[in-house]
Amino acid sequence: MKNRRHEAILEIISRYPVSTQEELIVLLGEKDIKTTQATLSRDIQQLSLVKQRDESGTVRYMQPVSAVKEKTLFQEAVLSVDYAMNTIVLKCRAGMAQGTCAAIDSVNHEGVVGTIAGDDTIFILVRSEADAKKLSKKFRSELFPGR
């Protein structure tokens, strides 16, 4: 349910100039997704959404540029995601790991202690196995939407 709600939030803010949580709750309701303001507030924080002015000058919820950059690099560069204990391993196309790793670092994911990249592999050290599982799941959903 949470993943579906997060996907719906990202779709809505990409299509409409949503400037309040109340507007977002109404638009989610139109997609048959019922939520509370408290849950929506947590979702906004987890998705790292920010309020910024768009090209027309309207203040609205948006993904930060670094998050969009990370997602694009992911889809182009990352071939697989796996984890063992508290370490996530991303296998990338040759030569693309370092740039992708820099994009990951710019987003400041929760629980990440540090990252290191080679030519085609990224290691991400997180605080716990639960953090590794959660972040791996997020990365997989970005790579393979709908799965």
- CA–CA separation, 125 vs 130, rounded Å? 12
Please name the residues in contact with 22: beta carbons below 8 A apart, sequence gap of 6 or more.
Answer: 37
* Biggest alpha carbon–alpha carbon distance for the chain: 46
For residue 46, give the nearest of 2, 90, 96, 99 by alpha carbon. 2
Determine the 3-state secondary structure of 58 from DSSP: coil
CATH class in words for 65-143: alpha beta
Topology classification of domain 2-62: Arc Repressor Mutant, subunit A (1.10.10)
Domain coordinates in residue numbering, the chain: 2-62, 65-143
Per-residue pLDDT of the chain (147 residues; tens, 9 = 90+): 777 898 889 889 988 999 999 999 999 999 999 999 999 999 888 888 888 877 788 888 887 765 555 566 678 889 999 999 999 999 999 888 888 888 888 777 889 999 999 999 999 999 999 999 999 998 898 887 765
Backbone angles phi and psi of 43, in degrees to 5 = -60, -45
